[in-house]
Amino acid sequence: MDDAKLKSIIEKHDRDPANLLAILMDIQKEERWLPKETLKALAAEMNLPLARVYALATFFAAFSLKPRGKHLCTVCMGTACHVRGAPRLVDHIQREFDVLAGNTTADMKLTLETVNCVGACALGPLVIVDGEYHGNMNAGKMDRVLKPIKQE
């Protein structure tokens, strides 16, 4: 992320260290992940310890410190989704896209992540693809949702 862009995000949040979380979210919205150089520049620009920025960025599962692919597929592995077959869904996607959970395909097309509960347990098993929530998933429906990505 270039300096001007980073500065505009920081300004948008009044340069307030209390808004660090919102700043990180905005950076990730732009970059899809949190690059090391950007976090270093952010810490320097806001006069914050890098250790604090790093602590916050690693605390939340929503942040990624590794480059993410063009598309993001998040499978909920909370208790409700888990007992309704989320692990099988993860296995299925792992096989279909040849990627291990927590990683990105070699062609940087898809990142597969798991998360422990997004709070929509009634819809379990739940999968979020590029911000869109798909409830009551099974392998067949999963294939239909991921087909456009596969064919890209």
Pick the piece of the chain touching another protein (CB under 8 A) from 23-31, 56-64, 74-82, 137-145.
56-64
Give least dist CB 51 to another protein, A: 4
Give yes or no for residue 133 binding another protein (CB under 8 A): no
Which residue in the set 3, 59, 67, 83 belongs to the binding site for another protein (CB under 8 A)? 59
What is the per-residue binding string for another protein in 36-55, x denoting contact by CB under 8 A?
x------------xxxxxxx
Q: Which is nearer to another protein, 34 or 142 (CB)?
A: 34
Q: Please report where in the chains the tokens 């500065």 appear, as a residue.
A: 7
Q: Which is nearer to another protein, 102 or 148 (CB)?
A: 102
Give least dist CB 105 to another protein, A: 23
Q: Which residues bind another protein (CB under 8 A)?
A: 36, 49-55, 58-60
